[in-house]
Amino acid sequence: MARILVNNTLVRLPLGGINLWAITWVVGLRRLGHDVYLIDENEWNYSCFDNERGIWTQDYAYGLRVVGALLEHYGLGDRWSFTDFDRKCHGLSRSRVDELFRTADAFIDLEWGTSYDRAGNIPIRIFIDSEPGWGQIKI
């Protein structure tokens, strides 16, 4: 069994397609017997989308509520972390997230996330481009 960190913008963009994309990977890897955690780290102001109000905001409440309930439904309520723009951790504690980055066997980045630099010591690092073109434009 491998310890795998899956990086995604699930809390920042809690929309149906993104939720489905991330949950498919996390639940699938967990069902295969892996020790899986979802990581979302924010580095930009106003990068959270509040679907109820239809606005970009610094208010993470909507995303935290939606993602927390979704992950709880799949038995992953204690296996996620969101670090907001002010570097406050939600879900797992900062010390636990730091430990996961030190001990992970693999890092899967589904959204060209902000955690990639922290994953440098993880033996296996995988980038899966969910939106072909977006990553290339960002480069």
Hey, is 91 helix, strand or coil?
strand
More confident residue, 47 or 33: 33
pTM over 0.85: yes
Residue 59, φ and ψ in degrees, nearest 5? -85, 115
Confidence at 135, pLDDT banded by 50, 70, 90: low
pLDDT at 29: 96
Confidence at 49, pLDDT banded by 50, 70, 90: confident
- Cβ–Cβ < 8 Å for 82, 11: yes
pLDDT tens digits, residue range 69-127? Answer: 999 999 999 999 988 888 889 999 999 999 999 999 999 988 766 666 788 899 999 88
pLDDT at 117: 74
Strand partners, 91: 81
Radius of gyration of the chain from Cα atoms? 14
pLDDT at 115: 62
More confident residue, 43 or 60: 60
Output the six-digit token pair for 107: 């890092």
Hey, is 122 helix, strand or coil?
coil
pLDDT at 92: 94
